[in-house]
Amino acid sequence: MPRTFLIRISMQEKSKLPTKQYQALLVEYLTPLKSQVILLALLLLINIGLQLINPLIVGAYLDAVEAGSSLDVLIRAAAVFMGIAIVAQVFRITVTYVGENIAWTSTNNLRSDLALHCLKLDMSFHKQYKPGELIERVDGDVTQLANFFSQLVIRLGANLLLVIGVLILLGLQDWRLGISITAVAVVGMVALNWLNKRSVPRWQVVREVEAKLFGFLEEWLNGTEEIRSSGAESFILLRLYQAMRTRWHKVIRAMRIQVLVSDLPLGVFALAYVAAHILGASLYRDGVLTIGGIYLIFYYIDLMKGPLWEILRQVEDLQRASASINRVTELRGIKPTIQDGTGASFPKGPLAVVFSDVAFHYEDDPGTDVLKHVDFSLKPGEVLGLLGRTGSGKTTLTKLLFRFHDVTSGSIKLGSYSFENDKAGLFDIRLAKEADLRRHIGMVTQEVQLFNATVRQNVTLFDDLIPDERILQALKEVGLGSWVNELPQGLDTVLEAGGSDLSAGQAQLLAFTRVFLDDPGLVILDEASSRLDPATERLIEQAVDRLFANRTAIVIAHHLGTIQRADEILILDSGHIAEYGARQELARNPDSLFSRLLKTGMEEAMA
């Protein structure tokens, strides 16, 4: 399905009310909260009853005054009115509290489910959709549904009941009043609905223009260095002005019809009051209505204002929510193409790795193989030096080990075995549970992702079960023992997002700490010490020595220092193996590609 589906839905689709999708979402996310939903419905019904009853007490009070009733009767009527008014206010506050609690609980559950769903989807999905788009789906659309989950359906029904109750009570006062006010209300509803159908699409266009504006701002802020270094500030400002001008024109277009929507209620109810004055005066003169009855007419007309316009707003919210529900349902409907394995038993200690005739191409480019006929084997505890120019397939090879993608053909196996025993004990990684597989493979990349969280949370990745003693020992092993001791709050010191308050070496050593805490049998190192100062590089080298101890390792190497640890060398060229063998043998062979790299300088040759 094209990406534009998640960004833009046709106006025809927006106007549809997907009843089945509404019902499915409501059942799924409100069923766990059914006691609160039932409580909310009861509170709303009681609140309706109180709103309808209190005016009757005022009407009776006025009639009693006109009839010359005793002061005690009037005081009792006033006391009852005040008591009901106070109770009604308490119920309104309770309704707001219960409704907001339902909204936050249900929408947070939906956000959590959508975020987890996105994390489980294949890398091909994340390659197709930008992070900004997913943020809009996971948070923006769900926020639009907060009112839908909490009170929209219940309040819509409650307001309809209130309006019907008011019209019935007016009809009981006199049938002519009931018919007149009902006719005015129907005309107002039809007129406002006609305007809303033309207003909602215009505001939807405004929202789409604003989304593009915010996307442009995100792109601009992320590329500040490149913009300034290339002198493109004027061009960026021009695009910003153009985007803001477009937004302004769309807002003006929407506001023109919004003025009519805002002013129409005044005209409609002006007609209702005119009808009430004419009919009320006539019926009072004829002795059909009392002073209390006249008061009830005007009170109920005024009471009907809120529910009628709220119904229209709720229908509008329902139409707007339909677009969000469509997008949320579409996102939830995307299924991973990689199916989780049934389970495999991982041995303790270093893992053996076997690639058997592996080929791979990305789904969006089936005609181009990124890897072709890749065959190699690593014994437990061996270190493989993986070399190749940019785009040769090194990173793709490591992604296949994590099952971020599945091989197009061939197989990848892990396990514990001796090569003399016919590779017994190996299993295809497609049989393993993805969580188990990734727990037994550790990776340190050039770009370390650090979070705006404590040191403890950053190295444990928010696993509260790992004791502090183990964390401190792991930090000491990688050479950060004195560093953490000097922090103002130790492990509770909060780091800035992205590790901007750390050096590149410290950030990478924290990534090493994560691997030490996981204690995997296979380590993948995208070696990046070439950009570090000599002192920090020595710390990294020492951490690498400890990391490789009693573990199998694959090193994507960028310079000669790390390669000296390798037992085997594999050089990729345009996705196929250009050379593979024992490092010492290849180094001694003057005709080998690896030997020539050593002579010419690997950094230059691999650029």
* pLDDT attached to residue 65: 73
For every residue of 100-162, DSSP letters joined together read: HHHHHHHHHHHHHHHHHHHHHS-HHHHHHS-HHHHHIIIIIHHHHTHHIIIIIHHHHHHHHHH
* pLDDT attached to residue 113: 85
- With 90 as the cut, is the pLDDT of residue 151 above it? no
115 and 45 co-located in one domain: yes
What dihedral angle (degrees, nearest 10) is formed by the CA atoms of 111, 114, 117, 118?
-100
* pLDDT attached to residue 1: 39
Task: Output the domain CATH number for residue 110.
Answer: 1.20.1560.10
Neighbouring CB atoms inside 10 A of 95's CB total: 22
Which DSSP letter does residue 463 get? -
Q: Which of 26-30, 39-43, 159-163 has the lowest mean pLDDT?
A: 159-163
* pLDDT attached to residue 14: 42
Identify the residue with better confidence: 17 or 62.
62
Count of structural domains, the chain: 3
Mean pLDDT calculated for residue range 351-367:
86
Phi, psi (deg, nearest 5) at residue 423: 60, 35
387 and 252 co-located in one domain: no
- Is residue 219 in some structural domain? yes
Is the CB of residue 268 less than 8 Å from the CB of residue 191?
yes
Rounded percentage of the chain residues whose pLDDT exceeds 70: 81
- Is residue 410 in some structural domain? no
Q: Which of 4-8, 106-110, 117-121, 572-576 has the lowest mean pLDDT?
A: 4-8
Mean pLDDT calculated for residue range 11-35:
67
161 and 182 co-located in one domain: no
User: What digits encode the pLDDT tens for the residues 268-326?
Assistant: 777 777 777 777 777 777 777 777 777 777 777 777 777 766 766 666 666 666 667 77
Rounded percentage of the chain residues whose pLDDT exceeds 90: 15
79 and 134 co-located in one domain: yes
23 and 167 co-located in one domain: yes
Is the CB of residue 314 less than 8 Å from the CB of residue 159?
yes
- Is residue 295 in some structural domain? no
Distance CA 166, CA 42 (A): 19
Beta strands 352-360; 371-378: pairing state = antiparallel
Mean pLDDT calculated for residue range 9-19:
44
- Our measurement of the distance from residue 399's CA atom to the centroid of its chain's CA atoms, rounded to an integer in Å, reads 24
Distance CA 36, CA 99 (A): 8
- Is residue 364 in some structural domain? no
The burial of 251, by beta-carbon neighbours within 10 Å (0-12 exposed, 13-18 middle, 19 or more buried), is given as middle
Quote the tokens at residue 160: 């309809």
Is the CB of residue 515 less than 8 Å from the CB of residue 442?
yes
Task: List Cβ neighbours of 144 (8 Å cut-off, separation of 6 or more).
Answer: 320, 321, 323, 324
34 and 106 co-located in one domain: yes
The structure tokens 């790795």 sit at 353
Is the CB of residue 573 less than 8 Å from the CB of residue 388?
yes
Query: Of the residues 337, 371, 404, which one is the last residue of a structural domain?
Result: 337
167 and 243 co-located in one domain: no
524 and 542 co-located in one domain: yes
Q: Which amino acid is at 316?
A: E
Distance CA 535, CA 425 (A): 43
566 and 501 co-located in one domain: yes
For the chain, the first-to-last Cα distance in angstroms comes to 37
161 and 190 co-located in one domain: no
- With 60 as the cut, is the pLDDT of residue 604 above it? no
Band of residue 11 on the pLDDT scale cut at 50, 70, 90 = very low
Q: Which ranges of 414-503 would DSSP assign to H, the alpha helix?
A: 434-439, 455-460, 468-477, 481-486
Distance CA 556, CA 390 (A): 11
- Is residue 562 in some structural domain? yes
- Is residue 308 in some structural domain? no
Task: Output the domain CATH number for residue 531.
Answer: 3.40.50.300
Band of residue 186 on the pLDDT scale cut at 50, 70, 90 = confident
- Ranges of beta strands (E only) in 348-431 are 352-360, 371-378, 383-388, 409-415, 426-428
165 and 84 co-located in one domain: yes
Which of 493, 487, 402 lies closest to 450, judged by CA?
493
Distance CA 306, CA 558 (A): 70
* pLDDT attached to residue 605: 46
Give the mean pLDDT of the chain.
Answer: 78
Is the CB of residue 163 less than 8 Å from the CB of residue 307?
yes
For every residue of 514-552, DSSP letters joined together read: HHHHH--SEEEEE--GGGS-HHHHHHHHHHHHHHHTTSE
452 and 579 co-located in one domain: yes
Band of residue 333 on the pLDDT scale cut at 50, 70, 90 = confident
Angle of the 71-120 helix axis to the 19-30 helix axis, nearest 10: 100
Mean pLDDT calculated for residue range 21-37:
80
User: What digits encode the pLDDT tens for the residues 417-453?
Assistant: 655 555 568 899 999 998 899 889 998 887 788 888 8
Is the CB of residue 100 less than 8 Å from the CB of residue 108?
no
Which DSSP letter does residue 489 get? T
Quote the tokens at residue 602: 């690997």
Which DSSP letter does residue 351 get? P
Domain residue limits at 252: 175-288
Counting Cα atoms < 13 Å in the Cβ hemisphere of 598 gives 18
Distance CA 564, CA 543 (A): 15
User: What digits encode the pLDDT tens for the residues 502-514?
Assistant: 887 888 888 889 9
- Is residue 443 in some structural domain? yes
Which DSSP letter does residue 347 get? P
Is the CB of residue 196 less than 8 Å from the CB of residue 312?
yes
- Is residue 302 in some structural domain? no
Q: Which of 213-227, 246-260, 309-323, 376-390 has the lowest mean pLDDT?
A: 309-323
Identify the residue with better confidence: 2 or 53.
53
